[in-house]
Structure 1
Amino acid sequence: MTRQKKRTQRRRASSARRGGVVAPSGGRSTTSPPRVKVSTPADLLGLVPYLLGFCPQESLVVLLIRDSAVLLTARVDIPPVEATVPLIEQFAGLAERHKASGMVLFAYSEDAASARELVEGLVAGLERHGLLDALYVAADRWWSLMCDQACCPAEGTPYDLSTHPMAAEAVFAGLTAAPGRSAVEALVSGPPADDLDRLVEVSRQVSAELVDLGLAERQELMAAAVRGALVHPQPLSDADCARFAMLAADVQVRDVAWALISRADADRHVHLWGQVVARTIAPFEPAVLCLLGMAAWISGNGALQNCCADRAARIDPTYSMTGLLEEINQRALPPSFWDAMST
């Protein structure tokens, strides 16, 4: 397996969100997460897409719980049965590191036999680590693999996310869920091919504006541009996006923008850098993808953070800030950790 593939798998194995009773959705500041009361694992099933930020498919999801609150949500592409032992170690390590009192597993797959075998192995290894329940989910039904009572019939329990009461509560609380991970990936895929020639010409014009500026001038320009975009959140022009991208290509200028992100306004930085990523051409993508990924992490949007890191690594696996995003994912660091990093 190549180094880049290993990095991508590790990032996907730790897409995480945090919050109160439920984690904040993308674009919502983690300083005041919405709270939705649940009473059963079936209730949590209705919230999983809102905890992740998208509706999972062929996925294994773990929720860590402490003090009757969802502490952390993590997702992996559903692995083969051979990955059972490493997953037990990974999930048990997360539970220990975050002092979780319990966890709940959800396996989403159309391959019932393989998914059930995987989850049964995980149940055997994780019960001593506080596993509360493990649900297999397929199409419009779910099964608890830790319950053999009448409440969990052999034919499964029907559910419909579109009418699930917990989903309705999540929406009312301001949480959102994309149709799938591909919808989140599309947000960071860059400009359409038909626009590239025009964007190249725009970049040439902007480059001529910046070429004679020294480092201090470019740092001041970046700071002023970011602050202005936050105070007056108007749609950015292609020239604006090119200017942000070219300035961010210099690490010392990029870090000025990075340092301006706070948990209180992280969602506004997500909006800003999301626009820039959508209009940025080669070779300027890694820096702006990482700035968007950092803003997404600080805002509590683990799905967007992960997609940014994945695309940045595909473009340039040696880019240092991508490695930092990877470490954040691997250690499942909460957005509150940014407070310590930025002081």
Structure 2
Amino acid sequence: MNHHDLPARLSLASPADVLAAVPYLLGFHPTHSVVTVGLTGTKVTVVSRADLPDPAEVTRWVNAFAPQQIVVLGNVSATAVIVVGYGAAPIVTPVVDVLRPRLLAAGIDLLDTLRVTDGRFYSYQCRDPRCCPVDGLPFDPTTSATAVRAIAAGQVALPDRAALVASVAAVTGPARDAMTAATRRARQRLTAVQAAGGRAAVIRLGRAAVEDTFDRYRDEHVAADDEVAWLTVLLTHIAVRDIAWEATTGTQPWHMAVWTDLTRRADPSLAAAPASLLAFAAWREGLGALAAVALDRALTADPHYRLAHILDRALRDGIPPAVLEQWPSTGEPTA
């Protein structure tokens, strides 16, 4: 679930403009997908994507998907929505046919329903052959003026969702071997610290490790294996995790760099904390798709990790990051 205020940077005046913007709103080029673009007034405020269901599952799928989307749109006070299906007509059309009346019955203004198939787009609502011919209109989202403006504004669209998943996947090969050895040393060091100084020493060293790591990435450097391993084992302590969480506003580009690098290099069993912090930073930046794949990594590492579950619920309900502007706050219970 991505939250946006896009028109301050890009003008979306036509269906082609909307379709060209969608990959940059999501962070990747969707395929075999249903995408909903919610608008509050003239501003794009939320974008969500889901895989298209199997034809035999359309009604059941829409019965689950529609109420969720209605909640999401309501949470951002959306006044209208555009629905886009990516795929062949026999797969997209049944979904649109069932989804449209559900959204309309909820009082949502459906600006358009579109289908993108084999480099062409079609409107289910426009019946004017002068602008919406029955054989569709050719469309290339990579060469449109909207795409050029999005790239110039610093937005990125990866080739597909698999590429987004790969961007937070654990490192392999020699890099993984080096991190495994570094993590073993870090665990031994943490055991010694706990024996000598207890929880207070762990928190003190954790704060220093967070500050040192942030300083390093702020200066566009990368932490060494032993530094990454040390911070990832310290983050298993909730108090240290919370120190890192409070420091992660998502407003600095290097915050994303810190947690992306640590998520990838952390021992897979220790990925829950850095991946959750990456999800938090991405969510604060309106990068819901990246936040979602980061949460997948967190919950793979620890299916019961409470912070990951809280953030996952916020994403699924389309809660805008501004609602929790001061989260976490000092003195409040942590997750």
Q: Same fold (TM over 0.5)?
A: yes
> Residue 46 in 1 paired to residue 20 in 2?
yes
Select the residue among 276, 286, 299 that pairs with 1:300: 286
Residue 103 of structure 1 deviates from its aligned partner by 0.4
1:264/1:313 CA distance change after superposition, 3 Å: closer
> Residue 273 in 1 paired to residue 263 in 2?
no
3-state SS of paired residue (1:341): coil
Equivalent-residue separation in structure 1 for 2:111 and 2:274 (angstroms): 40
Equivalent-residue separation in structure 2 for 1:88 and 1:299 (angstroms): 26
Equivalent-residue separation in structure 1 for 2:84 and 2:28 (angstroms): 14
Equivalent-residue separation in structure 2 for 1:209 and 1:311 (angstroms): 26
3-state SS of paired residue (2:169): coil
Which residue identity does 1:227 align to in structure 2? E
| Residue aligning to 1:108 | 86
Equivalent-residue separation in structure 2 for 1:263 and 1:337 (angstroms): 15
Which residue identity does 1:251 align to in structure 2? I
Select the residue among 52, 73, 82 that pairs with 2:47: 73
> Residue 135 in 1 paired to residue 121 in 2?
no
Which residue identity does 1:93 align to in structure 2? V
Deviations 1:62-102 (A, max 9, x none): 01101201011111111242222332222222223322110
Which residue identity does 1:43 align to in structure 2? D
Number of matched pairs? 315
RMSD: 1.8
| Residue aligning to 1:7 | none
Equivalent-residue separation in structure 2 for 1:118 and 1:142 (angstroms): 16
| Residue aligning to 2:149 | 169
- The aligned runs of 1:13-52 (5 Å cut-off) are 16-22=1-7, 35-52=9-26
1:237/1:85 CA distance change after superposition, 3 Å: same
Deviations 1:30-72 (A, max 9, x none): xxxx621111222110000000011111111101101201011
3-state SS of paired residue (2:206): helix
> Residue 261 in 1 paired to residue 248 in 2?
yes
| Residue aligning to 2:101 | 124
Task: Structure 1: state its 5+ residue gaps.
Answer: 1-15, 23-33
Residue 335 of structure 1 deviates from its aligned partner by 2.1
| Residue aligning to 2:318 | 332
- The aligned runs of 1:306-317 (5 Å cut-off) are 306-317=292-303
Residue 194 of structure 1 deviates from its aligned partner by 4.2
| Residue aligning to 2:306 | 320
Equivalent-residue separation in structure 2 for 1:202 and 1:94 (angstroms): 43
Runs of 4 or more, structure 1, over 6 Å off, are: none
3-state SS of paired residue (1:211): helix
1:264/1:199 CA distance change after superposition, 3 Å: closer
Which residue identity does 1:174 align to in structure 2? G
**What is the TM-score of this pair, normalised by structure 1?**
0.86
Equivalent-residue separation in structure 2 for 1:218 and 1:152 (angstroms): 64
Equivalent-residue separation in structure 2 for 1:320 and 1:295 (angstroms): 17
Larger deviation, residues 116-125 vs 241-250: 116-125
Equivalent-residue separation in structure 2 for 1:170 and 1:320 (angstroms): 35
CA contact 1:188–1:278 (8 Å) conserved in 2: yes
Which residue identity does 2:102 align to in structure 1? G
3-state SS of paired residue (2:6): coil
> Residue 250 in 1 paired to residue 227 in 2?
no
Residue 260 of structure 1 deviates from its aligned partner by 1.1
1:263/1:197 CA distance change after superposition, 3 Å: closer
1:229/1:46 CA distance change after superposition, 3 Å: same
1:317/1:207 CA distance change after superposition, 3 Å: closer
Equivalent-residue separation in structure 1 for 2:98 and 2:53 (angstroms): 12
Residue 263 of structure 1 deviates from its aligned partner by 4.2
CA contact 2:72–2:319 (8 Å) conserved in 1: no
- The aligned runs of 1:157-236 (5 Å cut-off) are 157-213=137-193, 214-233=198-217, 234-236=221-223
| Residue aligning to 2:74 | 96
Larger deviation, residues 317-326 vs 57-66: 317-326
